[in-house]
Structure 1
């Protein structure tokens, strides 16, 4: 039976999601003080698997796990290699190299990257408004990355900026491939994380070796596993199912990067630069323009 629509409750779940997602940039940065990126991913993924399995059983969908076929596991291995394995390895490394106030807004441009990738992958035609949206958003990236000194083109960490941008490519590819995924969303995410664990664990052993880690690092990984990789995703799906107007719910995401800067300042201790606010404003304007263009054109076409 389809759950009845409830816009007010949809807002509650959406705002809870935005609140949780707004804290994860700080959690990434704090946890990386104690863990290598691969270690953070490994321990967070273990927690995420436990949380997602609990959600599946609580929702009464455990039977779907017993009905899985060989192709489902093969798909999960492919998806899991892309996300969480490759995506979070790249993203966490970007956070290790960059201030959180730079890494978080740059990563938020994935929707713009998706527009660019949709041209060769989905054969979508790009509109004039989308070109403007892309230019405005990447001007914002340039302002943030150079701390406002755009004419000097001096980057504190060119590698970090490159990895943050590359993470948007990985996520966009994952999104494109996921449109053809017929698995139940939470079950699919659980399988992706399970199948990525051997990859992440093997990477940790080969590159870093198993070593004792401080409890603060493990607590950070647990927080990320529960919320970034688990509960927040489930809350967002719930909000979208309950909503009578998904566009209004989706627009709440624009609160996230601004709210995130508050947590970054008070929890991580970064002094937020004026260039960060200005650049983020450009990025959000570009995302709004891109979103309106997508709605007018009926979204992505294959």
Structure 2
């Protein structure tokens, strides 16, 4: 499952080790993703040029979706406290569930909404660690950027269903477009800093994973999968990262953390009830 917030979480981890040039980092990652995906397409006997011959609407949606999310995410982090900005930006799974009602052939039911709300509640507990949130009007710019960020990614994910005929390989071009916009933004707002060897390894890892394969998987899922369940299941990111931290002794399984995990799992199960119990739901 591809989650855009993966990059943000990795960025907060790498920030002490990487110079403060987020747009340089995201541009390099998208560039690496596009290069490796192009090589992968050719190794499988495909044509990169054929993959790029797609409707202009698909290009606009893909490039702006990938780059726009990260642009406004970093603007939000630069102008508001990280916890509050991240949680506002992380409203996109809930918006995906709600916006899916606008798609032809999709039925939005109460358990989809309830599952998304439970997942959001669990994410709030995990990210805030139960210490509460403080939304200061002085950070209005950051909060506004975060809400735009969430609308952009949820809108991209839902509208992507309209281009289900566009092959997943086209994401190679969308990543390249996002890299170009990122380098332009970097040149206008930041100073180039040469990464050291260990940082290059981290950048390549990000380009292959959270900014590479993940977006290809997400593209396929939003075009051909169950969009409501996909949205709710996206709250599994803080759940998985928390479990990894606990497993490596970097976090403690407090009652608040356990409650957050339970809420996320319960939300995912509730939203998936039609898949888990198809016969029972049919009889109701």
TM over 0.5: yes
Change (3 A) 1:120 1:188: same
Partner deviation per Cα, 1:34-65 (whole Å, 9 max, x = no partner): 14332221111111111111111111112x52
**Aligned equivalent of 1:65, options 45, 49, 55:** 49
SS state at 1:60 partner: coil
2:239 to 235, 244, 258: 258
Q: 1:278 to 1:148 in 2, by over 3 A?
A: same
- Aligned: 1:133 with 2:127: no
- How many residue pairs get aligned? The number is 265
Structure 1's 109 and 154: CA in aligned 2 closer, same or farther, altered over 3 A? closer
Structure 2 residue aligned with 1:11: none
2:69 corresponds in structure 1 to: 87
Candidates 36, 40, 60, aligned match of 2:21: 36
Q: Which residue of 195, 203, 206 corresponds with 1:224?
A: 206
Three-state SS of the structure 1 residue aligned to 2:272 is: helix
CA shift digits 1:182-206 (9 cap, x unpaired): 2210x21101011222211111111
Measure how far apart 1:226 and its partner are.
0.9
Instruction: Give the Cα–Cα distance (whole angstroms) in 2 for the partners of residues 60 and 268 of structure 1.
Output: 45
How does 1:88-237 map onto structure 2 within 5 Å? 88-91=70-73, 97-98=81-82, 103=86, 110-120=92-102, 126-144=108-126, 146-149=128-131, 153-154=133-134, 167-181=149-163, 182-185=165-168, 187-232=169-214
Q: Find the residue that maps to 1:179 and give its secondary structure.
A: helix
Normalised TM-score (structure 1): 0.65
Deviation of 1:168 (Å): 4.1
Structure 1 contact 148–275 (Cα < 8 Å) conserved:
yes
Secondary structure, in 3 states, of the residue corresponding to 2:162? Answer: coil
The DSSP-based 3-state class of the residue aligned with 1:211 is coil
TM-score under structure 2 length normalisation: 0.69
CA–CA separation in structure 2 for the residues paired with 1:166 and 1:267: 35
Pairing 1:9-28 to 2, within 5 Å after superposition: 27-28=10-11
Counterpart in 2 of 1:75? 58
Supply the distance in 2 between the matched residues of 1:67 and 1:25 (Cα, whole angstroms). 28
